[in-house]
Structure 1
Amino acid sequence: MTKLNRANLPSLKGVAVPNYRASDLKPGILHFGLGNFHRAHQAVYLDALFNMGKSRDWGIIGTGVRPADRDMHDALKPQDWLTTVVEQEASVSRARVTGAMLGMIPPEDRAAIVRQLADPAIRIVSITVTEGGYFIDPATGQFNPEFEEIAVDGRNPDDPRTVFGLIALGLRKRRAAGTRPFTVMSCDNIPHNGVVARNAVAGVARLWDRGLADWIAATAAFPNGMVDRITPATTDRERKLCAQDFGIEDNWPVYCEEFIQWVLEDNFCNGRPELEAAGVQFVPDVTPFEFMKIRILNGGHAAIAYPASLLDVHFVHDAMNHPLVGAFFAKIEREEIMPTVPPVPGVVLDDYYHLIHRRFSNPKIGDTIPRLAFDGSNRQPKFIVPVARDRLKAGGSIDSLAFESALWCRHCFGKTETGKDITAGDPIWPRLTELAAKAKSDPLAWLSMEDVYGDVGQSAIFRKAFARSLTDIWSKGTAQALADFVGA
């Protein structure tokens, strides 16, 4: 077994490694959120470019604001910031070592983060902080400056703690120095993620200086983009597989599917890498691609997460092969989700549905139901509730969407059908479990969460369907309620 570091790269056999040295690169991107998805997605595209000899002045400096970012720093530093990325399909696994990252600033060194943000060499600041990290009011979809973390940043303009406060401070320093602003590139699964990121950065700046906020909105760039690659969390299982199958001792390898996609609007204010050479698709308007991916893929994840959780199914591929969960997935997708997706240039939606089905069914990925079930209070308002809203406006059925919501409620009760504890998986888990307990006898108590459901929770049609679904789940049990619902 070979410890992963640059000195040992020549010793690796059967593994693709960078054909460039760290000294061949110059930093051009500061990235917040060095989780598995970033290292399986953006860093892979850049690694491919650097291997082509292109855009080598766009190396990545990583950073973050959470304690977990310190853990990532400590794991990657001894291996010279290299990552083993293992791409898996049912019949094959391939490993590559990526070297696009040049270093990482630990989260506690905010002064160093701000210095890097102010450095003219940094021309893109990219972000993967999950759907729940943008301080959005779920009911309105707008940036909410009343979140406590944002309020703290508002009172401390010279020492902000959030990603968006730090970015705003970096832009403030560039404005004062006469330095061109950078592009802020969100890589999270949020509709119009560039607009959302702009609202968050300018929203924090507005708490300090309206002129700064106006300058940011007018001069910095915030491209919208759609990103896609299924990337489970790393556990000791993946570390052992990496050592066993490829002979690499990697502190934090990334396992992912072979499929990868990035659709991006070409809206950059200070240059960009030649990403199209690595397969990034540039389009004038990313909206149709966002709708397709967020609704069919992310909505599909929600559709299988909660029934599978309640039926003690751990892996996503097993959920897809479960006759009841798989049937519910097909029903909600074909009858209620897919009809809300507008035409997508160059894409046949039925083909895309089959692609998603195949990807979810991949047994090699090892993606887990707890990962899909995580953070429902942030994901439901983005992936499920908007679909229900569109269906209601169009006069279409919402029975499957209401059933999905009822399954989420039952999941938040905290016990599977066999009585096993469900691990807390939401920032507001105590509130959810309390409401789920009330909803057992009063289903509409669940829909009182206006911050999740907004006007959909007030719809008489949705309320009736939800109450009927939750009552069936509690009275019959999840399996029988599902069987009756899908006609199994």
Structure 2
Amino acid sequence: MRLCLNTLPQSLLPAYDPEAHGIGILHLGLGAFHRAHQAAYTDDALAAEGGDWRILGVSLRSTDIIDALAAQDGLFTLTERADTDRTRVIAAIGETLAAARDSEAVRAALARPEIRVITLTVTEKAYGIDRAAMDIDPAHPDVDRDLKDPRHANGVLALLVEGLRRRQKAGLPAPAILCCDNLPENGALLRAGVLGFARRIDAGLAEWIAANVAFPSSMVDRITPAATDATADRIKDLFGVTDTAAIECEAFSQWVIEDNFPQGRPAWDAAGALFVQDVAPYERMKLRMLNGAHSLIAYAGFIAGHEFVRDAMQDAPLVALVDRHMKAAAAGLGALGDIDLDAYRHALLARFANRSIAHQTYQIAMDGTEKLPQRIFAPALEAGTDIDAFAFATAAWMRYCTGIDEQGRPYDLRDPRAAEIHAALKGATTAGAICDALIGLPDLFPKALKENPSFRQACTDRLQIMLARGMTRAIAQEPL
């Protein structure tokens, strides 16, 4: 029996009548994280204060999730994994579209007058934005293709621009466009990409967008592992229904949003979201404390033989280094009036140790050259002479970059600069040579850090121990 409104067990019924609420949000990127995070917040907002704020969900690549949700009235189960699991049904998704099957329907939906907020979770790679230039990346395949035929757009930036063009032509109000990807200053970044694309095809449209479209920033947080067969099996065993869109996540959730929605928004604050004037301090907190510690766990834990974060958090000496790392990161943040950084640190330690969440260290380790500048290198510059925590994390990444585990088995770095890393390390056999080669990669380490001999030596010394004695010994020997 498939999950749908007329087969739901009484315990799983939504706290509101889904059919009584219209569509108000269009979301691009209908993956597990959106459904565990923004869709769950919207579900709670609808239950708390109502409104026509259900979601039109768009899958840009896959059709599987669209087919699964279409067969289930848009419903899916969300299980929050903790000491005591909690399962609920999310009813916030009212319509779905697959861009791979009907991209024109997506372009038309972006211009529907009832759409007042557009949200996105598409990952950084999908945007085609050059952060350094704060402009489009003309070499990105989607951008290159769509610039040649913008009216039949398929890429993220071109879809948004075409939808806005149609709204301008129809005399419709501009929506707020809210990036929910884990990117620093994501609102400003997305605005730069949309304007950069628009300027190249229609200067007047670009001016209208600049004057009318809001691009609020947001910071999102909820660990959401990929669903497995066991996820659906658990729902079948518990409730006797088949849910092919079932997902699970941790119980913790956080959403900090810049309050800039000219056409209104759901009552996400009633669901626990924090609305602020400036998201940047909260982004730095998450990037440096949570994500920075995650990178440390990923590289040191993976090399030490820990498959999952939860396993690494059973390694007491490594946990001590994780705690030290977060304290060092917090020291450079300053005070956040509505968040206790010590309490946040303790919450992170508990979240990482959650035995119900299987978050692979190897998965977190991917794309290191894109992640480490914000997570590790930036706070290292602010830490003054206390650089040990960041030097250890950097050395662990350097050890990972060798591409050989401690049993002599090779692995794929899964990094956009992997070929460049391999070329730089060719012939580098000592800790000093490896450290010099990686610090010398162009446009990776900040100049002040590259030219800091204390940091370079601290990384080299730790890498030497990792190479000669193994990661477990290096973790145990690290002074606290």
Query: Normalising to structure 1: TM-score of the pair?
Result: 0.90
CA distance in 1, matches of 2:245, 2:401: 30
- Alignment-derived partner of residue 274 in structure 2: 281
**Does the C-alpha gap of structure 1 residues 485 and 309 become closer, same or farther in structure 2, counting only changes over 3 Å?**
same
1:202 positional shift = 1.2
User: In the TM superposition, what whole-angstrom CA distance separates every residue of 1:236-288 from its partner, at most 9, and x where no partner exists?
Assistant: 23223333344442213211111222121210122211222222221222222
* Unaligned 5+ runs, structure 2: none
SS in 1 for 2:152: coil
In terms of mean alpha carbon deviation, does 436-445 or 408-417 score higher? Answer: 436-445
Q: CA deviation at 1:312?
A: 1.9
Please point out which of 23, 42, 53 is paired with 2:38. 42
**Letter of the 1:209 counterpart:** D
* Residue equivalent to 1:151: 144
Amino acid in the other structure paired with 2:253: I
Aligned to 1:60: 55
Q: Conserved in 2, the CA contact under 8 Å of 1:137 and 1:451?
A: no
The 1:133/1:294 distance shift into structure 2, 3 A limit, reads farther
Deviation at 1:203, TM superposition (A): 1.7
Number of equivalences: 474
SS at match of 1:79: coil
- Deviation for aligned residue 1:430: 4.0
Whole-angstrom CA distance in 1 between matches of 2:148 and 2:478: 52
Q: Which amino acid aligns with 1:400?
A: A
1:400 is aligned to 389
Whether the 8 Å contact between 1:319 and 1:325 is mirrored in structure 2 is yes
Is this contact kept in 2: 1:327–1:486, CA < 8 A?
Answer: no
Post-superposition offset of 1:291: 1.8
Decide whether aligned partners of structure 1 residues 212 and 18 sit closer, same or farther in structure 2, where only a CA change above 3 A counts. Answer: same
* Distance of 2:276 and 2:202 partners within structure 1: 34
> Judging changes above 3 Å, is the alpha-carbon distance between structure 1 residues 272 and 403 closer, same or farther for their aligned structure 2 residues?
same
Q: 1:187 to 1:33 in 2, by over 3 A?
A: same
Distance 2:257 2:150 in 1: 32
Gaps of 5+ in 1: none
TM-align CA RMSD: 2.3
Task: Work out the CA distance in 2 between the residues paired with 1:447 and 1:253.
Answer: 43
CA distance, structure 1, for counterparts of residue 391 and residue 326 of structure 2: 13
Aligned counterpart in structure 2 of residue 218 of structure 1, from 211, 224, 243: 211
The aligned counterpart of 2:222 is 229
**Distance in 2 of aligned mates of 1:203 and 1:396:** 40
CA contact (8 A) 2:377 2:449 kept: no
Amino acid at match of 1:419: G
Partner SS for 1:469 = helix
Q: Which amino acid aligns with 1:129?
A: V
CA 1:213–1:390 in 2, change beyond 3 Å: closer, same or farther?
A: farther
What amino acid does structure 2 have at the position aligned with 1:231? T
Q: Judge conservation of contact 1:26–1:58 (CA < 8 Å) in 2.
A: yes
* Alignment pair present for 1:6 and 2:5: yes
Q: What is the match of residue 398 of structure 2?
A: 409
Cα drift, residue 93 of structure 1: 0.5
**CA separation of 1:340 and 1:363: change in aligned 2, threshold 3 A:** same
CA, structure 1 residues 146+399, in 2 after alignment: closer, same or farther (shift >3 Å)? farther
Cα deviation for residue 463 of structure 1 reads: 3.4
- Identical residues among aligned pairs (%): 36
Aligned residues of 1:131 and 1:378 also touching (Cα < 8 A): no
* Structure-to-structure mapping, 1:49-448, within 5 angstroms: 49-52=45-48, 54-55=50-51, 57-66=52-61, 69-90=62-83, 92-108=84-100, 109-137=102-130, 140=132, 142-149=134-141, 150-334=143-327, 336-391=328-383, 395-423=384-412, 425-436=414-425, 439-441=428-430, 442-443=433-434, 444-448=436-440
Contact 2:46/2:267, CA 8 A, preserved across alignment: no
Deviates more, 1:302-311 or 1:445-454: 445-454
Alpha-carbon contact 2:221-2:255 (below 8 Å) kept = yes
Q: CA deviation at 1:423?
A: 5.0
Equivalents in 2 of 1:421, 1:324: separation in Å?
26
Is residue 99–residue 154 contact of structure 2 (8 Å, CA) maintained in 1?
Answer: no
Deviation at 1:49, TM superposition (A): 2.3
**Other structure's SS at 2:255 match:** strand
The one-letter amino acid of 2:32's match is N
Contact 1:123 1:271 in 2 (8 A): yes
> What is the one-letter code of the residue matched to 1:342?
G
Give the stretch that moved more between structures: 158-167 or 302-311: 158-167
